Amino acid sequence: MLAHQMLRTFHQRYGYAPLLVRAPGRVNLIGEHTDYNQGFVLPAAIDREIVFAVGLNRGPTARLFSLDKQQAHEQALGAGPLRPGSTLWANYLLGVVAQFESRGVAVPGFDCVFGGNVPMGAGLSSSAAVECGLAFALDHLLGTHLSRLELARLAQQAEHTFAGVQCGLMDQFASLFGQPGQVVRLDCRSLDFEYFPFDSAAYHLVLCNSGVKHSLASSAYNTRRQECEQGVSLLQTYYADVHSLRDVTTAQLARHRAELGDVVYRRCRYVVEENQRVEAAGRHLAADDMAAFGQLMYASHAGLRDDYQVSCPELDQLVDIARAHPGVLGARMMGGGFGGCTLNLVPAAAVPGFLAAVTAAYQSPTGRPLETYQTRIVGGVSEYLGNGVDC
């Protein structure tokens, strides 16, 4: 459906046949704000996707069209280094082009129509999907043959330089490395990863959108990252083998609590404990002990709310509603924070009751009814075959 729309619009605007690519958003079961601390994460790609129609136009210009915004943007290429401009949505795409160029790849003029159903600002990584989808499409059209890992890094750097968020690798990795029906545990230091099957017939991952857009997120995100780095610098003066919070123990933190200061101490404590939770979560998943897994989700939320301080009253309210509902195994805020969605782990039979209860109980700040999404775990970025007729 989405692919048909992109294809049709591309034909109307540019009159030739494009490459079609889909790029999914992601959920993260546990391991929040651990990626840039070289820790562990447990994401999966979901059936909320951005679809791209892209083709080389043999001219000197990138002609971009956002179907969702019904806006066009043009950018001359090959006339010196690209810089972020005032059209915010275009920056995510131009950031990707700039990354190809910084790798010595001259990007010729191209046309791109894109759009999708990953809600914006909901913590489902719509921006990573945009970056990864275009990176994949350009790699294909230009024959650069970058690996998926290299594409993930390229997309991450686009986010750093053109969106100003010093993000970790999780979102881009999840969008590119997703596998149907599986979650992936990534070690963000070694970049080793392991897939775990997720029994989606028995358990559903339900997203509840607080309706709060995480507008504070980029500045507060970068501050959290700095606070973690501050903690590491201090601990390194005592422990030569500490390279990131990944290497720190709770005992070491406790010993230097006064010197770290209350805020940095609590930021670090959250990250150290969250890494322990991801490791335990992998064991529970392998043993199909989803009740224990759910308890870790609640603990993760408490740490994000109290120590890392990236939650907000609406997210806390949604988690409290979930906790009070019999049958829900676990719930937590997801992603960078300050708004967006909660992720709820719910046995299939309990889903209708939970949806009714949470929709009735949630007091949205906008007064609009709660949006919920039931997600399916899908494969990572790929080309659409069959010109969109199979989608």
Chain residues in the site for ligand GLA (CB under 6 A): 32-33, 35-36, 125, 167-168, 170-171, 335-336
Q: Which is nearer to ligand GLA, 217 or 318 (CB)?
A: 217
Q: Which residues pair with 21 in a beta bridge?
A: 52, 383
Give the shortest CB-125-to-ligand GLA separation in angstroms.
Answer: 6
Whole-angstrom CA distances from 48 to 13, 129, 261, 283 are: 25, 10, 41, 28
Give the shortest CB-257-to-ligand GLA separation in angstroms.
Answer: 24
Q: Which is nearer to ligand GLA, 171 or 247 (CB)?
A: 171
Q: Which is nearer to ligand GLA, 304 or 355 (CB)?
A: 304
Q: Which is nearer to ligand GLA, 9 or 34 (CB)?
A: 34
CA distance 346 to 274: 21
Which residue among the candidates 35, 111, 139, 171 is catalytic per the annotation?
Answer: 171
Q: Which is nearer to ligand GLA, 28 or 344 (CB)?
A: 28
What single-letter DSSP state applies at residue 225?
H
Whole-angstrom CA distances from 36 to 171, 257, 344 are: 11, 22, 24
Give the shortest CB-172-to-ligand GLA separation in angstroms.
Answer: 8
CA distance 305 to 332: 10
Q: Which is nearer to ligand GLA, 304 or 329 (CB)?
A: 304
Give the shortest CB-12-to-ligand GLA separation in angstroms.
Answer: 34
Rounded to an integer, what is the distance from CA 9 to the centroid of its chain? 27
Tokens of 11: 């034909």
| Alpha helices (H) along the chain | 2-14, 88-102, 126-142, 148-158, 170-177, 217-236, 250-255, 257-260, 262-286, 290-306, 313-324, 351-361
Q: Which is nearer to ligand GLA, 123 or 388 (CB)?
A: 123
| Alpha helices (H) along 113-256 | 126-142, 148-158, 170-177, 217-236, 250-255
Whole-angstrom CA distances from 219 to 75, 307, 365 are: 27, 18, 22
Give the shortest CB-135-to-ligand GLA separation in angstroms.
Answer: 15
Give the shortest CB-236-to-ligand GLA separation in angstroms.
Answer: 22
CA distance 3 to 175: 18
What single-letter DSSP state applies at residue 244?
S
Residue recorded with tokens 């069209």 = 65
Give the shortest CB-366-to-ligand GLA separation in angstroms.
Answer: 22
CA distance 329 to 345: 5
Q: Which residue, 273, 311, 124, 119, is CA-closest to 205?
A: 124
Specify whether 171 is catalytic. yes
Contact assessment for residue 41 and residue 184, using Cβ atoms and an 8 Å cutoff: no
Give the residue numbers annotated as catalytic, written as ranges. Answer: 171
